[in-house]
């Protein structure tokens, strides 16, 4: 079992609206000190929405950080006072215009634990209905329906290149095969 690395000091160096950055000083097993840059980011939800035809509702949206359009599952931050499930319902409506009669927690994972605190709760949304909601002003997405059977090829080709989307979609495909 790996040894723990005691935290010796933590300095917040930036606090933004959604993201904060801190520098942690830790003690390595050798006794040496080392610094880690940690991005503090709130917990999030990621939703694999599957329609009655076995197609996943994905969103194509521009991601400024990578400078390109990505094909992703609906996802977003959990707002203050919300449960993960409430957030999943809200995000699905905001990003796709659909609501789900069934929202099932599939588990979760850390998005990038080497430098970020972000934890993702994965949900499977089924029994979809048009919610008649209009997307948020900052949601500029195109909804794309993809047969679940096509997902592994889209991941392999790089068409789906977002880690949370690959993880969530593959989790649902494996679950349906069991």
Structure pTM?
Answer: 0.91
Structure-token pair, residue 95: 């990003």
Is the pLDDT at 165 greater than 90? The verdict is yes
Distances (CA, A) of 25 to 8, 9, 112, 113: 5, 5, 19, 16
The residue with tokens 């939703």 is 47
52 phi-psi bin (left φ>0, alpha ψ -120 to 50, beta other): alpha
Question: What is residue 6's DSSP assignment?
Answer: -
Is the pLDDT at 93 greater than 80? The verdict is yes
| pLDDT number for residue 104 | 97
Is the pLDDT at 114 greater than 90? The verdict is yes
Is the pLDDT at 27 greater than 80? The verdict is yes
| pLDDT number for residue 133 | 67
Each residue of 42-79: pLDDT tens digit?
999 999 999 999 999 999 999 999 999 999 999 999 99
């Amino acid at each position: 079992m790996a040894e723990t690395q005691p935290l010796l000091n933590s300095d917040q160096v930036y606090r933004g609206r959604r993201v904060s950055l801190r520098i942690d000083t830790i003690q390595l097993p050798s006794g040496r000190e080392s610094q880690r840059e940690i991005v503090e980011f709130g917990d999030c939800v990621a939703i694999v929405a599957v329609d009655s035809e076995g197609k996943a509702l994905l969103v194509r949206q521009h991601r400024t950080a990578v400078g390109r359009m990505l094909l992703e599952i609906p996802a977003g931050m959990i707002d203050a006072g919300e449960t993960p499930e409430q957030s999943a319902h809200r995000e699905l409506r905001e990003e796709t215009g659909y609501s789900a009669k069934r929202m099932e927690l599939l588990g979760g994972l850390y998005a990038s634990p080497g430098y970020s605190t972000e934890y993702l709760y994965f949900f499977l949304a089924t029994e979809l209905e048009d919610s008649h909601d209009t997307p948020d002003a900052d949601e500029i997405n195109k909804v794309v329906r993809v047969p679940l059977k096509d997902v592994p090829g889209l991941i392999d080709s790089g068409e789906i290149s977002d880690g949370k989307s690959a993880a969530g979609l593959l989790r649902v495909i494996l679950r349906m095969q069991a």
